[in-house]
């Protein structure tokens, strides 16, 4: 695939300071498809310098004009939507349909929504004798993961630009090609030089240099809880603001009286989509003892429809996971589940295809909350079904992890489901299959993170207040 042998800094593609490269591997066939430069501290320094230089001009650009730039960025990406989707298929292994719809169209639509928000947001408010100005927080470091590469970029870049911030993006090393395409789109949209910069590289080198850089005012990170903890500590030490979107172990609670077939099918789909590499996936399905075996059987049958295969081929619903490392990690968790006594209903550690980083869609029953697979984030196509005895038990199990990112509740009435959701320690809950809303706040309780993304709440993360007393 086409790749830049350069970083996007100050509106230009510039050679990296060092000669090292990162090989981008197609996880479906294990072939190297491109190489990108492995950025180091001098590249980060140049990018932050460009962002700092661009900051005063961009911050002073009227919100309506910033909105127009976001609109142009939307158009530039929309024009190349098919190419972006193909890139996500190749570097991540997402099935083509999913790559087109969820990985590409959704973030492009989010850009349009942010353009509207930028134009409509009141950047000042009146509180008694004060006028409170909402000003950009400054230069932003955006550090993103590989699982939804374009969505994660847009989810940080769009609100940062809407707020008047400039930024340096360090995408995940596994998915740098879609990030380079994003850089090209920023260039095509005519964004002023330095407003958006892209530095590819390893997290512990380029990411670390960026998070530590004294020219960065705010760090927005999405990724693992372990790296998030480290970045939070760095930001705290430097008194920078930080947003952390981390892991999850979300509960899908099916209450007695719910439409069991619908709830189970949606629950299976939630975990199998993107090969289970979704931070907010409902990886724990909670079912009342009276319906437990029926639910397990429904899930087993539903899982049969998730065809594993070449992500580029029509009809494939489950592609590979992103890397060999991820595959080994997920298989390790499956082995651990068996060891700890969970009942393996479908799937397992056997590779479903000889080449590529594939993991069989896996279903565990008789999972109890003390098991590793009920506590740790697996990030693969593995669903655990847990049994509860009554509502109190269901609440206890649902809340019994260090995470709190998302969840689902199914009941015979919305009222009953909402009453249960109020008792969940989590940032988001879908009620009887309520649709994903990109304008509602998204973010974790407990160790799932700090701060909120999406919509107005996402925009606020990139603003700081200045109160004028009149």
Cα(421)–Cα(409) distance, integer angstroms = 7
Looking at 11-19, 187-195, 202-210, 428-436, which segment touches ligand NAP (CB under 6 A)?
202-210
Cα(374)–Cα(201) distance, integer angstroms = 33
Cα(249)–Cα(371) distance, integer angstroms = 13
Looking at 57-65, 75-83, 179-187, 223-231, which segment touches ligand NAP (CB under 6 A)?
223-231
Strand 218-222 relative to strand 139-143, pairing: parallel
Q: Is 159 in the site for ligand NAP (CB under 6 A)?
A: no
The region, left, alpha or beta by phi > 0 then psi within -120 to 50, assigned to residue 15 is beta
Cα(56)–Cα(53) distance, integer angstroms = 7
Nearest approach in angstroms of CB 323 to ligand NAP is 9
95-154 residues in contact with ligand NAP (CB under 6 A) are 143-147
Q: Is the dihedral of CA 170, 175, 176, 179 positive or negative?
A: negative
Among 165, 173, 208, 279, the one annotated catalytic: 279
Q: Which is nearer to ligand NAP, 121 or 170 (CB)?
A: 170
In this structure, are residues 267 and 408 in contact, taking their beta carbons and an 8 Å threshold? yes
∠330-336-339 over CA atoms, to 5°? 150
Q: Which is nearer to ligand NAP, 231 or 268 (CB)?
A: 231
Q: Which is nearer to Mg ion, 93 or 455 (CB)?
A: 93
Examine the residue annotation and report whether 279 is marked as an active-site residue of this protein: yes
Choose the contact partner of 25 out of Mg ion, ligand NAP, none; CB within 5 to 8 A by kind.
Answer: Mg ion
Cα(390)–Cα(286) distance, integer angstroms = 11
Q: Write each residue from 275 to 314 as x if it is in contact with ligand NAP (CB under 6 A), else as -, in one continuous string.
A: ----x-----------------------------------
Choose the contact partner of 369 out of ligand NAP, Mg ion, none; CB within 5 to 8 A by kind.
Answer: none
364-383 residues in contact with ligand NAP (CB under 6 A) are 377, 379
Strands, E assignment, 40-129: 124-127
Backbone angles phi, psi at 400, to 5 degrees: -90, 55
In this structure, are residues 20 and 37 in contact, taking their beta carbons and an 8 Å threshold? yes
Choose the contact partner of 379 out of ligand NAP, Mg ion, none; CB within 5 to 8 A by kind.
Answer: ligand NAP
Nearest approach in angstroms of CB 93 to Mg ion is 8
Examine the residue annotation and report whether 208 is marked as an active-site residue of this protein: no
In this structure, are residues 459 and 163 in contact, taking their beta carbons and an 8 Å threshold? yes
Among 91, 208, 245, 377, the one annotated catalytic: 245
Applying CB under 5 A, which residues contact Mg ion? 25, 174
Q: Which residues bind ligand NAP (CB under 6 A)?
A: 143-147, 170, 172-174, 202-204, 207-208, 211, 222-224, 227, 230-231, 245-248, 279, 377, 379, 405, 449
Catalytic residues: 245, 279
């Amino acid at each position: 695939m086409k790749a830049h042998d350069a970083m996007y800094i100050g509106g230009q593609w510039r050679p990296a300071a060092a000669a090292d490269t990162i090989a981008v591997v197609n996880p479906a066939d294990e072939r190297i498809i491109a190489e990108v430069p492995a950025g180091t501290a001098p590249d980060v320094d140049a990018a932050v310098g460009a962002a700092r230089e661009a900051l005063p001009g961009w911050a002073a650009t009227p919100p309506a004009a910033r909105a127009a730039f976001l609109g142009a960025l939307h158009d530039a990406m929309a024009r190349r939507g098919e190419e972006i989707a193909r890139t996500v298929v190749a570097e991540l292994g997402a099935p083509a349909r999913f790559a087109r719809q969820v990985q590409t169209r959704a973030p492009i639509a989010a850009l349009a929504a942010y353009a509207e928000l930028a134009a409509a947001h009141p950047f000042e408010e009146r509180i008694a004798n004060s006028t409170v100005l909402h000003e950009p927080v400054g230069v932003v470091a955006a550090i993103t993961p590989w699982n939804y590469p374009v969505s994660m970029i847009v989810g940080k870049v769009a609100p940062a630009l809407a707020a008047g911030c400039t930024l340096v993006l360090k995408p995940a090393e596994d998915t740098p090609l879609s990030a380079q395409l994003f850089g090209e789109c920023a260039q095509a949209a005519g964004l002023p030089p330095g407003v958006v910069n892209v530095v590819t590289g390893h997290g512990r080198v380029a990411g670390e240099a960026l998070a530590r850089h004294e020219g960065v005012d705010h760090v927005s990170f999405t990724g693992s809880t372990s790296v998030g903890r480290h970045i939070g500590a760095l930001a705290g030490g430097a008194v920078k603001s930080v947003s952390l979107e981390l892991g999850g172990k979300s509960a899908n609670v099916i209450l007695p009286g719910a439409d069991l077939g619908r709830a189970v099918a949606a629950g299976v789909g939630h975990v199998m989509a993107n090969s289970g590499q979704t931070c907010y996936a409902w990886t724990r399905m909670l079912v009342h003892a009276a319906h437990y075996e029926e639910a397990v059987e429904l899930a087993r049958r539903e899982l049969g429809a998730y065809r594993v295969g070449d992500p580029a081929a029509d009809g494939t619903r489950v592609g590979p996971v992103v890397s060999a490392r991820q595959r080994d990690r997920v298989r390790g968790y499956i082995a651990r589940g068996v060891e700890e006594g969970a009942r393996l209903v479908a799937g397992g550690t056997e590779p479903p295809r000889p080449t590529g980083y594939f993991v069989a869609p896996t279903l565990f029953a008789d999972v109890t909350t003390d098991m590793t697979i009920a506590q740790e984030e697996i990030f693969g196509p593995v669903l655990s079904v847990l049994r509860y005895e009554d509502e109190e038990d269901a609440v206890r199990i649902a809340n019994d992890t260090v995470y709190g990112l998302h969840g689902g509740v199914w009941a015979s009435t919305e009222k009953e489901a909402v009453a249960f959701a109020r008792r969940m320690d989590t940032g988001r809950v879908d009620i009887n299959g309520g649709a994903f809303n990109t304008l509602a706040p998204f973010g974790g309780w407990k160790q799932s993170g700090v701060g909120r993304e999406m919509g107005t709440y996402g925009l606020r993360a990139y603003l700081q207040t200045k109160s004028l007393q009149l």
